[in-house]
Chains A and B, each alone.
Chain A
Amino acid sequence: MTITIDAPKLIKAAPLLRAQNVSKTYGAVQAVRSVSVEVFPGEVLGIVGESGSGKSTFLRMLNLEETPDSGSYTLDLPEVEGNLFDLDRFARRMLCATRIGIVYQNPHLGLLMKHSSSGNVAERLLVAGERRFAVLREKASDALEASEFPLDRLDAPPAELSGGMQQRVQLAKAIALEPALLLLDEPTTGLDVSVQALVLDTLKRLQQDRKITMVIVSHDLGVIRTLADRVMVMRRGEVVEAGLADQIFQDPQHAYTQQLVHAKL
């Protein structure tokens, strides 16, 4: 006996993000299989699953880095309409630069390691067309400060910083333009536990202060539990279960989710 969940009724806002039947294959491997999801403004969606579950591929598609074989993806923003997967390279780049922020697990993917930290943040603003040095500097340091980055290291290159600090630079870069959507791909994986807690705390603060809509991918249930309002569990490219974070952790319905939750220390 199961209960089916209705469509949203009380929430008046339209979903910010809507992905429908997104599928992607790499050769014979079906990486993502008909995934659909809606994320509402200010919501934090967590995607959990083990390596190879397709969660990171899906996130990269949301960042328009990868194009799926089929499916649609819309963001409820005034400047774009229609399926974002159909946008040309130029429109994708502008959209990603101005409205979508991303933090990668590997800082090398998101940062210029030898440029200054403030320069890494300023690059976003430059892409968006800011041409005043003083404004660039001010906005970059504001974003770094919001990410709780020590301002006396403003111009230190990320190559000289610790892993936790590198993630803060990535985060500052991602939020510098006040994105509509913040994507986080294993943002704390590989960091020391204590540093991990601090970065998570920063994310939580930012989410509360700025009401940024986030999609966070992690294999670490603790991370998801700390940040997410809602959780989507993926396995072999498919969504096996989705629900409120506390429900997924306290009353998982699917056998795989139960196994996942019980395996947590």
Chain B
Amino acid sequence: MTTVLEVQGLTKGFTMHHLGNHLAAFDQISFDLRAGEFLLLKGQNGAGKSTLLRTLYRSYIAQAGQVIFHSNHGAIDLLRAADVDITLLRREEIGFVTQFLVARPRVSAEALVAEPLRLAGQSAEAALKEARKWLAEFGVKEDLWRAYPTTFSGGEQQKVNLARALILPQKLLLLDEPTASLDVKARAALVARLRELKAAGTAMIGVFHHPDDVAQLIDRVIDLTPGLENEEREDVVV
């Protein structure tokens, strides 16, 4: 199995200028991830699980370390890659799945789901067909497909979001509690899709409130609970 990600000494903290202090999130995290591997991040609330995902995705700026991602375009350090390179990777190779949908006014559910395929260069028709398939898969009722998700309930929005986030196979998938408050059918669809992607070689790092949901997928676990790996670590609620 080829290595997808090499994390070395990753350290993140937050400087709060208005409080005049610095809050550490995690220190010196190191691990490797191979294609098709599923890594579960564990730890108590505030251990920095989501922070780690966001730091890998570059929504957060790390303080130190190195994260080598072996992209289709070559190896690159995600912590230091230029913004445009990150944008390119996010479009083509790195996905981030949360439970929250960023809906936009006057964009239908199916158009929203089809968007990643459109951006990847697929025709509008093919993208829409695929989008409908996944909306059905996640149990979004057909009469909602052409409606605007801004008005949907939280649960329906979440399903639209999952369909959108998982429609395009990625090289690396970051999962931030995607199953929280999901109904049984959708959860099953999600796990099935993750299994399918994993088998196709997608490497995944996930944070799950109930890891049992994905128990069969987990290959490895990293526990971020302070004291387990690094005695000095001081954790912070993000």
Contact = CB atoms under 8 A, between A and B. Distances in A.
Interface of A: 1-11, 40, 43, 197-198, 200-201, 204, 208, 226, 229-230, 242-244, 246-247, 250-251, 253-255, 258-259, 262
Given A201-B105, A208-B119, A251 B14 contact: yes
B59 A251 contact: yes
A8 B77 CA distance: 11
- The 9 A-B residue pairs with the shortest CB-CB distance, nearest first, are A255-B17, A8-B82, A251-B60, A10-B73, A10-B85, A197-B105, A246-B59, A1-B63, A6-B80
Interface string B47-72: 00000001000111111100000010
Given A9-B76, A43-B84, A244-B87, A3 B62 contact: yes
B88 to A, nearest CB: 6
Nearest to B119: A208
A120 B115 CA distance: 33
Given A1-B64, A244-B59, A251-B61, A10 B88 contact: yes
B34 interface: no
B59 A250 contact: yes
B74 A9 contact: yes
Main secondary structure of the interface of B (DSSP, over half): mixed
Given A244-B87, A251-B59, A201 B76 contact: no
B60 A250 contact: yes
Contact of B63 (A3, A7, A198): A3
Interface in B92-137: 104-107, 115, 118-119
B62 A259 contact: no
A258 B62 CA distance: 16
Nearest to A4: B80
Interface of B: 11, 14-18, 54, 58-64, 71, 73-74, 76-77, 79-89, 104-107, 115, 118-119
Contacts of B77: 6
A4 to B, nearest CB: 7
A148 to B, nearest CB: 9
A3 B86 CA distance: 15
B122 to A, nearest CB: 13
A243 B18 contact: no
A247 B18 contact: no
Nearest to A7: B82
A230 B87 CA distance: 9
Contacts of B88: 10-11
Given A201-B105, A244-B58, A247-B59, A3 B79 contact: yes
A198 B58 CA distance: 30
Nearest to A230: B83
A25 to B, nearest CB: 29
Contacts of A3: 61-64, 79-80
A208 B107 CA distance: 12
B118 A6 contact: no
5 contacts: A4-B80, A9-B76, A10-B88, A11-B88, A198-B106
Nearest to A255: B17
Given A11-B84, A251-B59, A259-B18, 18 more contacts: A3-B80, A5-B82, A6-B81, A9-B74, A10-B85, A10-B88, A200-B105, A201-B104, A201-B106, A204-B104, A229-B83, A242-B83, A246-B59, A247-B59, A250-B60, A255-B17, A255-B18, A262-B18
Contacts of B74: 9-10
A200 to B, nearest CB: 8
A155 B18 CA distance: 54
A243 B81 contact: no
Contacts of A204: 104
A253 B80 contact: no
